[in-house]
Amino acid sequence: MKRCFALALVLSGLAATAQAQAGSCPPGFAMLQASDTCVRISGRVRADALAGSSRTRSQASYGTQVSGRVRLDLRKQTEYGPFRAVISVGNMGR
């Protein structure tokens, strides 16, 4: 999970340096500086907490679970046609 968080920070920094140019990238994408490559960074985090009591009341039951995912989508127009690369890192079951 620490690697996923570090990757999310790096990708967030990359997104912060991107400049959006109207008409040249699809909606939701930003153009990288000094490049004609469009990038979109997305992801999600999920946290669950369960608490309850057992039938015998001698001990309480509880549990926690955290998961997350980061996705990097790159698009570029080449002389051979559109190029698309998708990198997805995480442990989300859905």
Cross-strand bridge partners of residue 71 = 42, 88
**What 3-state DSSP class applies to 40?**
strand
How confident is the model at residue 65, as a pLDDT? Answer: 86
- Select from 29, 34, 10 the least CA-distant residue to 74: 29
Q: How does residue 27 score in pLDDT terms, banded at 50, 70 and 90?
A: very high
Q: How far is it, in rounded angstroms, from Cα 5 to Cα 7?
A: 5
* Domain limits, the chain: 2-90
pTM of the model: 0.57
How confident is the model at residue 5, as a pLDDT? Answer: 56
How confident is the model at residue 51, as a pLDDT? Answer: 81
